[in-house]
Amino acid sequence: MLASKGDVRNEYIRPIKWEKPGVLLLEQFDIFRGGDSEDATYRFTARFDEKTGEFRVISKKKVPSKE
């Protein structure tokens, strides 16, 4: 989860597309409860590291609200 005020009530992560082999674009949608935070959407890119066998987030950004 990315930082924000309030408690996350629900969190959804869905794959968007493979940018190239081993690099995946994902979208995270957080629904908050309490605090003064509005729901938030983030896009991040994860890359598979063949040496360690793990995925690592290589970029992330908040998607502006459509309101």
Per-residue pLDDT tens over the stretch 9-67: 788 999 999 999 999 999 998 888 776 667 889 999 999 999 999 999 999 999 887 65
In the chain, the largest separation of any two C-alpha atoms, in whole Å, equals 43
- What per-residue string of b and e applies to 23-56 under the rule 16 or more CB within 10 Å gives b? ebebebebebeeeeeeebebebbbbeeeeeeeee
pLDDT, tens digit, 9 for 90 and up, residues 34-45? 766 678 899 999
pTM beyond 0.75: no
Please give the pLDDT value at position 51: 93
Q: Are 57 and 24 in contact (CB under 8 A)?
A: no
Tokens at 60, concatenated: 């992330």
